[in-house]
Structures are given as structure tokens and as C-alpha cells.
Amino acid sequence: MVSLRSVRRFVWGEIPDSKTERTLLLKIDWFILSYCCLMYFTNYLDRSNVSNAYVSGMKEDLHMYGTEFNKINTIFTCGYIVGMVPNNLMLQVVSPRIWFPAMQIVWGVLTFCSSAVKNVEQLYAIRFFQGLTEASTFVGTHYILGSWYKPGELGKRSGIFTSSGLIGTLFSGVLQAAVYQHLNGVDGRSGWRWLFIIDGVITLPIALYGFFVFPNTPTTTTAFYLSPEASLILRHRRPKEHRGLRRPTWDLAKRVLGRWRWYGCSLLFAISGETESLGSNNLMGQWLSALGGYTVEQVDYYPCGVTAVGIASTLVCATWTDATRSRARWPVLVYMSVAVMVAAVCLLVWGSPTGLKFFAYYLAGASYSGQATTFAWANQICADDDQERAVVLASMNMWNNVVNAWWQLVFYPATDAPRFRKGMWAMIGIGLATLLVTFLVWYLERREKRVAARAGDDGPAEDGIEEKERELDEKNVDGFEP
């Protein structure tokens, strides 16, 4: 018979043995995940609103033509690339409790500015700086999650965080449809302009929440809800990591470039991240809009199914990876690759029924499950060096965006709607490439573990916490201030 503890472990990851650490884990889950998920929700809300605005009147109001929509996304991506590594290294110098909300306030203000643009060139400039500031969130949070959580806890938390961004995308489509229906023309503003205003209003209060509750890292936290005893236990959860805020040095560059980790993990996400192209470029919305016969509300609502599949796939896969004692991450990438290749084949057969095309686009939502898994895997691989981990995580997303900056222009230009034939062949190729690189990273990780085992180093140790927990339990200390 399956025990309640086994069910809890499957749903929420590893469960600490001591009551003290279980209580601590619950509390850091609440305060870290609540802010990081809300922050990433607004990150994607303020990022994906351009796609929704484009098919809801912005194209006509700004007299956009050709590939100008793709150029908006490319310019945003360029800002994102420029900001990636500097933002993550800033977390080594500036308190994350200050840096994250500050960047969120900046991109929230830029979102407000988007509502007042008069031409597409103004939107180009805004989106570049928005990309620069939004680059702080994704890899920065994965770095923070890897600092707080053990490998057996990390997959589910990474999945919940990644899903919050997808929920932002999902909500943006629903919100745009509602705004167009109820606010279009109010106060002389088009519905898509109201979308940017409302998104900005949602963003700023969440940034203020982060200033008050975000706990920084285990070694620098001064959170009001953690006692000194609790902070001591948290530091010992990841004892082999370097401690405190430290400025990057040339030794860091030598460590990063002298190992396989930076090369392997960067290559993995640079390639596998492009499996999301069908969803991230809103190809379904462009397909429906180009076909005609669908209302603006339907064009906004129907693609939400792609995101919904992405959320479900992310959470199920993250739960499964934490539940497997082997911490195997690679099967998720296999599932994702096969799903997008099947979807692309279905969409290449243009004479197929409309229902099959809906199915194919929704199936492609499985590609989003790779985000959480890939970054949890990289956190696991680099767990013994937090500075290297910060650079590797940032570089993974940076190289993916370097590819994405031109990938969408070449394979998914708006002028190819509704068929996107080049893009579907590219998706089949990228699925196959993802399978090959996944095998490469799996092999290199196993080889590193074998070398470490022969050298007598089993990887990041977790000794020391059990003794402190027993000591606190004997004193009937729960780890928190009353």
C-alpha cells in the first residue's frame, strides 16, 4: 500500500527527516516561490503582450508591415542577451532583495511607456531596454533556487517557477481579449494600449512586495521571519558552496572555461530552447489571423491552449524528475523533442483537418517542459561552485537568445503565415539536434561523476545539517521566531 509520505514525496520532492527542516522548507517555499513566481508572471505578462497586441489592432494602428513584428522581438532579444550575464553577476555583488525588485520597477515603467508609442521605432527602443532589465529574472531566479534547494527538491520548484511565466503568457491572451471587448476605444485609447497600462499596474506592487519579503541567499539572509538558528541550518543545506557575496575574478573565468559544464549546458539550451518557437512566436495566433473567419477574441483565446499544455507538461515532468531517486532529467528532453517533431509533421501536411492542426499546436506546448528541467539539471551539475553556476545559468539563456535573435527572422517571419513551412522543417531538425546534445551532456556528467568517485569526492556534501537539527530538536526549537 502506498504510504502518505510516499505520495507527499512524489508530489513535493524529498521530505526532510527532521521536523525543524520541514518547517524551514515550508517557510522558504512560501516566501521565495511567492515572490519569484509573481515576478516571473509579470515578466512574461509584460513580454508576451506585444504578440497579443499585434493581432489585436497594434499592427494597423502603427502601420506595421513585413517583418516589423519579428524585428520587435529580435530587438527585445538583443537587449535580453546584453543583460544576461551582467544581471546574474550583479547578484554576486548586490543583494538580490534589492536587485530583483529594482529591475522589475524599471521594466514596469517601460511597459507603461509602450501604451503611448506613436510609431514602431519608439517601440523598438522601449523593447530593447525592457529586454535588458527583464534579463535579470529567469536565470537569476534559477540561480537563487539552486542556492536554497537540494537536488531532490529542485525540480518541482523550478517547474512551479517556470510555469508562473507560462501562466503570465496564458493570462495575457485572456486579458487582451477581455480588454479589447470592454475597453477598446475608452478614453480615446485602443484596446491594445490599455493592455500595456493594465500590465504595468499589475507589475509595480509585486516589485514592492519583493523589497519586503525576499530572503536573499542562505548565507546573506536577514529575513525577519528567520531566526539565527534557522539561518544556520539553511547555510548547512548546501555546505560546499562558496559563501556570501563575492566579486567575480579572473580565477572564475579560468574555472568556467576550463571545464566542460559551460560548453555542454550552453549548447544544450541554445538548441533545445528553440523547440519553443511555435508557442513563443504565437504561430497559432498568426495562423488564425491570416486564415480569417475568426474574431479578435478567438484569435486571443484559442492559442492559450498551447500555454496550458506547457504548464501541465512542466509540472508533471518536474514532479516526475524529483520523484526519481536517480535525478534523471534527460527523459523530459526526449519527450519534448518527440512532441515537437510530431507537431511539425502534422502541420507540414497542410491538407489535414483543422482539428489536427489545433492538436499539433497544442502538442507543441510540451516544449515548455524543457525549461525547468534543463536549468534544474545545470544547477545540479554545477552545485559545487556557486559562482560558476551563476555564469553557466546566465550563459545558457544568453546563447539561446543569441540563436533566437535571428532564428525567428529566418524560419518564422510573419510573412510566412499561415503555413510557416520553413519553420516546421527547422523544428524537426532542432528536435533531432536536442536529442543528440542531451545524450552528450548526460555522458559528460556521468564521466565527471566517475572521475570524482575514483578521486574520493562524491560531490556536494550535505553533512553537518543532521547534527544541528538533532541539537535543535532536543532543545525543542522549531527554527523560527515566535
What's the pLDDT tens digit per position in 425-436?
999 999 999 999
107 or 7: which carries more pLDDT confidence? 107
Chain-wide mean pLDDT for the chain?
82
Rg (CA), the chain: 23
Please check the confidence at residue 122 and state whether its pLDDT lies above 90.
Answer: yes
Mean pLDDT of 199-217: 90
Cα 106–chain centre separation: 19
What's the pLDDT tens digit per position in 317-368?
887 877 765 467 889 999 999 999 999 999 998 888 889 999 999 999 999 8
Please check the confidence at residue 227 and state whether its pLDDT lies above 60.
Answer: yes
Integer CA distances (angstroms), 186 to 116, 171, 179, 190, in order:
15, 21, 10, 7
Flag the least confident range among 53-67, 144-158, 419-433: 144-158
In angstroms, rounded to a whole number, what is the distance separating the alpha carbons of residues 49 and 117? 14
Please check the confidence at residue 192 and state whether its pLDDT lies above 60.
Answer: yes
Contacts of 390 (CB under 8 A, 6+ apart): 88, 89, 91, 92, 143
The amino acid at residue 106 is: V
What count of other Cβ atoms lies within 10 Å of the Cβ of residue 271?
A: 23
Under the banding of pLDDT at 50, 70 and 90, the label for residue 43 is confident
Return the residue matching grid coordinates 519534448: 336
pLDDT at 265: 94
Mean pLDDT of 197-210: 92
Region for residue 110 given its phi and psi (left: phi exceeds 0; alpha: psi -120 to 50; beta: otherwise): alpha
Contact 462, 456 (CB under 8 A): no
pLDDT at 462: 42
* Residue whose C-alpha is closest to residue 299's, from 208, 177, 392: 177
The b/e string for 42-52 (b: 16+ C-beta within 10 A; e otherwise) is bbbbbbbbbbb
- Domains assigned to the chain: 11-218+232-238+255-456 (1.20.1250.20)
The x, y and z cell numbers of residue 254, run together, are: 579560468
What's the pLDDT tens digit per position in 66-90?
888 888 888 998 898 888 888 888 8
What's the pLDDT tens digit per position in 12-21?
566 676 777 7
Share of the chain above pLDDT 70, in %: 86
The x, y and z cell numbers of residue 322, run together, are: 524529483
Please check the confidence at residue 130 and state whether its pLDDT lies above 90.
Answer: yes
What's the pLDDT tens digit per position in 386-417?
778 888 988 898 898 889 878 888 898 878 88
Please check the confidence at residue 459 and state whether its pLDDT lies above 80.
Answer: no
Beta-carbon-side half-sphere exposure of residue 445 (alpha carbons within 13 Å): 23
pLDDT at 472: 44
Under the banding of pLDDT at 50, 70 and 90, the label for residue 442 is very high
Under the banding of pLDDT at 50, 70 and 90, the label for residue 480 is very low
Please check the confidence at residue 147 and state whether its pLDDT lies above 90.
Answer: no
Torsion sign (Cα): 280, 321, 462, 263:
negative
In angstroms, rounded to a whole number, what is the distance separating the alpha carbons of residues 48 and 367? 17
pLDDT at 468: 46
What's the pLDDT tens digit per position in 98-107?
999 999 999 9
Share of the chain above pLDDT 90, in %: 27
* Residue whose C-alpha is closest to residue 108's, from 83, 128, 133, 72: 133
The x, y and z cell numbers of residue 261, run together, are: 559544464
Please check the confidence at residue 239 and state whether its pLDDT lies above 60.
Answer: no
pLDDT at 236: 67
